[in-house]
Amino acid sequence: MSHHVDLLILGGGCAGLALGRELARRDAGLSALIVEPRTQYTEDRTWCFWQRSDTPHCGPVAARWARWQISDSSAARQHAGEEWHYAMVRAGTYYDAACGEISAAPSISLQSGTRAGQIQSDDRGTHVETDAGTIHAQWVVDTRPPDAARLAGAPIAQVFSGAEVETREDRFDPTTALVMDRLRGDANQVAFDYVLPLTPRRALIEHTVFSARPLAPKTLDHACNAEVTRRAGPAARIIRRERGWLPMGLPERSRNDGPVIFAGTGAGALRASSGYGFRRIQAWADECADELAAGRAPIPQPADPLFRRMMDHIFLDALARQPWAGPGLFMALADTLSGDGFARFMSDKATPQDWTRTVLALPKRPFLTAALRQMFHRRSGPELARC
């Protein structure tokens, strides 16, 4: 069995559903099919980001904070955003909202429980073999997560294990998000705790590691459980768990291959130096849907500007080679930038003044060494040096 669509979207995760939703909103006049291996969506993760308070919400926001904190063993730096806030989107709500809009669009469909193979192009055009047969398409947008081999190419892995918990008494301050709490580093990794207090009695608590030696997220469960007990008490009820592995600084890949377009995490949607990607994915989906609605080809996940990409890779290089210095790097960043400046920096909106303050505040020797290493490798080829 085979059929033809104008647009085939491989992967119905954050990026694939975002593009499908935006196409549904535009009545783009083309047939589109999203193929997703999951049989059902669950509350399997959260997405967080900084957003200007005067802009529309980037997704169905479940909670937001005007204050956030970064701390290490000796100090805590609390930021108060005047124009920016920190926001959280629940995956379950996001999935339900996107699927609802897609199902209401007559020309767009979501085919769950279906695995897709490799994309092939030959004299029959572009097609993909799936569990449900062959699908021919004018364009293919591949948003599937990166495979193990590509994940291994990232210089730093951000790995986490988290639990949403509920307590019987007030334990949390819901006015302040702890985005990097109790930063500590050793010869192998930087670790910190991430706490999103939803109410005085409910919070998401995660143990997070930045490491050049990737770990299976499940191996962090013990540390996460210890942190839950420390913060919420031994009687806390675990409502759900979430785990993840975010590749930071994936090597550049082809922006597109004829009718095949890459987007999402596997195409570099995550900011190399932070792992944040939700807003970037939503922006890409909006622009890509505009192109398709205008009768043009879909666009790939855009590459970061060269300066930002170079600075991010210098940061990753220093972090990968001297993880014990990581807490000092993040604390220096938090100390030198205002709340809004920190939010801008983490949201691809840093001003020249933000960049200047950042460069002046960070330790000179490791960053100069990393910068020279990147410059040397750039002369050897177009790719930035792998950290």
Q: How high is the pLDDT of residue 310?
A: 86
3-class state of residue 272 by DSSP: coil
User: Could you give the CA distance from residue 314 to residue 298 in angstroms, rounded to a whole number?
Assistant: 31
Q: How high is the pLDDT of residue 370?
A: 60
CA angle, 37 as apex, 31 and 43 as ends, to 5°? 105
Helices (H), the chain: 14-26, 91-103, 148-151, 221-232, 278-293, 306-321, 326-336, 339-346, 352-361, 364-380
Q: How high is the pLDDT of residue 365?
A: 66
Q: Please answer whether residues 370 and 314 qualify as being in contact, where contact means their C-beta atoms are separated by less than 8 angstroms.
A: yes
Q: How high is the pLDDT of residue 380?
A: 42
Q: How high is the pLDDT of residue 258?
A: 80
Which residues in the chain come in under a pLDDT of 50? 379-387
Q: How high is the pLDDT of residue 148?
A: 83
CB neighbour list of residue 288: distance below 8 Å, 6 or more residues apart: 19, 22, 141, 261, 263, 298, 299
| Residue 65 identity (one-letter amino acid) | W
Q: What is the pLDDT of residues 12-67, one digit of tens each?
A: 999 999 999 999 999 888 999 999 999 999 999 999 999 998 887 778 999 999 99
Q: What is the pLDDT of residues 111-124, one digit of tens each?
A: 999 999 999 988 77
Q: Which residues pair with 190 in a beta bridge?
A: 185, 210
Q: How high is the pLDDT of residue 373?
A: 63
Q: How high is the pLDDT of residue 313?
A: 86
